[in-house]
Amino acid sequence: MRGPVAADFASYAAFYASDATEFISGPLDLAAAWHLFASDAGHWALKGFGWWTVTENGVPVGCVGLHHPPDQADIEIGWNVYDGARGRGVAREAAQAALNWAVNEMKAQRIVSYISDGNAASIALAERLGATRLPERAIHDASKAIYLHDLTRYAT
Amino acid sequence: MPTSTIPLIETKRLVLRGPEPDDYPNFKATFASYRSRFMGGPLNPYETWMLYAAEIGHWNIRGYGMWMIHHRDDGRTLGMAGGWFPAAWPERELAWIIWPQEAGHGYALEATHAVRGYLYDALGWTEAVSYIDPKNLDSIRLAERLGAVKDPEAATIDGNDAVYRHPSPERLKSGQLRDGIELEISHYADPLFKPKGMPID
């Protein structure tokens, strides 16, 4: 896992052009995907945390990030795994590493995931990570449920 | 690249630095306002923040981007100017924006002339264009004052913008064009002379 670099954009844009993004405001055209990619990269400078490109043998297979735009109540962890890399636990491993970093390096107190009801894969991962589904809906987007992560698992 | 490694550019009245988190409020106010109508705005708070993050991310991805323009006297921000080249842009763009309350003092001219020189001399750009809404008369006038000429043959972003092509590095090295731009900038700094470019809003 490392910060996004220019060479990661081709796989990022291909993912965002696909139907796999139906629950995360996709599909996006090239211009919109680039804008989002640049925002992911710039998030680090604005907040001190942000998105990583997840690589396997140097090849991007997804992205995972800690994300906090001003309309969201809490810091969110998000994950995307690209076509061809799903079903091998890539997102789980990357999300655990990101949460571990969030707890021990940035001293995060509260991290959630905002997930659409139909996004079964992400709900399953949130549950495997030990997150609890809260009764209220996301303030910035009522189509999403809030999963609160159990950060005690990562404290050292 | 961390924003602290973005090169500093200094002019007579201005200091140009990488965009920092603390510089966000005036950017936000400008993109929430009617001032941004020719740049995809007005934007909601989420869109504005994501655009500001993208301004910074552009530096990481391209190695160049938009500088934050500060006034030398008090450090306040005045706007942004620099190179802009997202995916789907036909060519590398020289872009600028000045906060509405700071318009009319020639800051965009001074800043954009300086960053154009930097992109040409330090980064080796051989060409630059500006994509401008044909209704954005202030920006068209500024492009012309910078020596840019409308290029009707050039590819546009989406058909709704006019392409202004900047003079080449060779043409800008010396001569009447450069002298004229620098004379106008110096006139702004010296209130004895009246500037040629006047803001509409």
Query: What single DSSP character describes residue A138?
Result: P
**What residue ranges define each of the domains in chain A, with the CATH number in brackets?**
6-153 (3.40.630.30)
- Of A35, A37, A68, which to mutate for an interface test with B (greatest number of B Cβ within 10 Å)? A35
User: Smallest CA–CA separation between B124 and chain A, in Å?
Assistant: 19
Summarised one tens digit per residue, pLDDT across range A139-151 is 999 999 999 999 9
Q: What is the pLDDT of residue A155?
A: 87
ipTM reported for the complex, 2 dp: 0.94
Mean pLDDT of A113-135: 97
Which of B44, B61, B88 is the closest to A31 by Cβ? B88
Q: Both tokens of residue A120? A: 């079964």
Q: What is the pLDDT of residue B174?
A: 81
pLDDT < 50: residue spans in chain B: none
- B85 Cβ under 8 Å from any chain A Cβ: no
Q: What is the DSSP string of chain B?
A: --GGGSPPEE-SSEEEE---GGGHHHHHHHHTSGGGGGTT-S--HHHHHHHHHHHHHHHHHHS--EEEEEETTT--EEEEEEEE--TT-SS-EEEEEE-GGGTTSSHHHHHHHHHHHHHHHTT-----EEEE-TT-HHHHHHHHHTT-EE-TTSPPSSSSSEEEEPPPHHHHHSSHHHHHHHHHHHHHHSTTS--S-----
Q: What is the pLDDT of residue B191?
A: 67
Q: What is the pLDDT of residue B39?
A: 92
Q: Both tokens of residue A85? A: 């890399």
- A128 Cβ under 8 Å from any chain B Cβ: no
Task: Please check whether residue B92 is in contact with residue B142, taking contact to mean a CB–CB distance below 8 angstroms.
Answer: no
Task: Please check whether residue A129 is in contact with residue A149, taking contact to mean a CB–CB distance below 8 angstroms.
Answer: yes
Which of B3, B50, B57 is the closest to A69 by Cβ? B50
Residues of B in contact with A45 (CB under 8 A): 2-3, 20-21, 56
pLDDT grade, residue A45 (50/70/90)?
Answer: very high
SS3 per residue for B52-99: HHHHHHHHHHHCCCEEEEEECCCCCEEEEEEEECCCCCCCCEEEEEEC
- A120 Cβ under 8 Å from any chain B Cβ: no
Task: Please check whether residue A51 is in contact with residue A64, taking contact to mean a CB–CB distance below 8 angstroms.
Answer: yes
Q: What is the pLDDT of residue A156?
A: 81
Cα–Cα distance for residue pair A27/A30, rounded to 1 Å: 10
User: Smallest CA–CA separation between B79 and chain A, in Å?
Assistant: 18
The helix or strand, by DSSP H or E, that contains position A47, with its residue range, turns out to be helix A30-47
Q: Say whether pLDDT at A53 is over 60.
A: yes
Share of chain A above pLDDT 70, in %: 100
The chain A residue lying nearest B5, using CA atoms, is: A45
Which of A5, A13, A69 is the closest to B49 by Cβ? A69
- A118 Cβ under 8 Å from any chain B Cβ: no
Summarised one tens digit per residue, pLDDT across range A91-113 is 999 999 999 999 999 999 999 99
- B160 Cβ under 8 Å from any chain A Cβ: no
pTM score over 0.90: yes
